[in-house]
């Protein structure tokens, strides 16, 4: 890497599991102090026991509008400022659209789209005032290809891809970089909703990637010289036939 994250302060939503956990631990290893934002208090407590004072816990259920609204003030009560914000929390619905429950659609679109927009909006007010900052959003390969087995999930990521690209054009003049990482299938709990036969087929074919590999891509984005923005990284297993 061209630069470390020494003395940087990062915040990661959904930071106690999956890609968020891998991102948290990669940034800790690169020298950052990380605020882990998650609703799973037990998982966050375990991370605190492992990493000690290098990590600050912040228990928030982002699907609760009142709690979501407290994100920025609670962050700034816990740390002096925010250099890096990784908007990672999300959920997944796969399968045929006609089989998806309406409540599940609402919940997924709320977390994958509305919460991301509200969190980024809140953090931007702080970063604009400071004249600097990095925002990374976890997107998906599904944002770039109309995957027929996950129309609701894919639609949420297409929306976020547009959000990242348009917001970047509004805020680069303030010294803020914003980009997205769009991995193909990653071995995380989100794959629990995949049909068993599809998951088994993917594992056998070597068409899944590790969360730690996504985290390394995020570090690459964060450690470029300030005059360079990596707007999008699309990453997929080499055996993925797309």
Output the 3-class SS for 75-104: HHHHCCCCCEEEECCCCCCCCCHHHCCHHH
DSSP state of 116: H
* Catalytic residue flag (residue 153): yes
Q: What gap in Å lies between CA 13 and CA 134, rounded to an integer?
A: 14
In residues, how long is the chain?
Answer: 242
Catalytic residue among 92, 153, 158, 163: 153
Does residue 83 contact residue 31 with C-beta atoms inside 8 Å? no
Is residue 137 classed exposed, middle or buried when 0-12, 13-18 and 19+ CB atoms within 10 A define those classes?
A: buried
Catalytic residue annotation: 153
């Amino acid at each position: 890497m061209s630069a470390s994250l020494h003395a940087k302060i990062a915040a990661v939503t959904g930071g106690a599991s999956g890609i968020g956990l891998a991102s948290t631990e990669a940034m800790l290893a690169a020298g950052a102090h990380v605020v882990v934002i998650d609703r799973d208090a037990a998982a966050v407590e375990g991370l605190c026991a492992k990493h000690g004072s290098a990590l600050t816990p912040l228990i928030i259920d982002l699907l609760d509008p009142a709690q979501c609204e407290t994100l920025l003030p609670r962050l700034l009560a816990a740390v002096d400022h925010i250099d890096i914000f990784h908007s990672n929390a999300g959920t997944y619905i796969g399968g045929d659209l006609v089989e998806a429950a309406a409540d599940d659609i609402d919940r997924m679109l709320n977390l994958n789209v509305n919460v991301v927009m509200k969190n980024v909006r809140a953090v931007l007010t702080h970063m604009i005032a400071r004249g600097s900052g990095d925002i990374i959003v976890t997107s998906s390969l599904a944002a770039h290809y109309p995957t027929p087995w996950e129309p609701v999930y894919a639609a949420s990521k297409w929306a976020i891809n547009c959000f990242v690209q348009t917001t970047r054009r509004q805020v680069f003049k303030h010294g803020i970089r914003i980009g997205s990482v769009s991995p193909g299938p990653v071995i995380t709990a989100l794959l629990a909703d995949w049909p068993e036969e599809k998951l088994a087929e993917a594992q056998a074919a070597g068409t899944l990637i590790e969360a730690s590999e996504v985290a390394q891509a995020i570090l690459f984005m964060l450690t470029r010289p300030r005059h360079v923005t990596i707007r999008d990284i699309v990453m997929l297993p080499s055996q993925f036939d797309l």
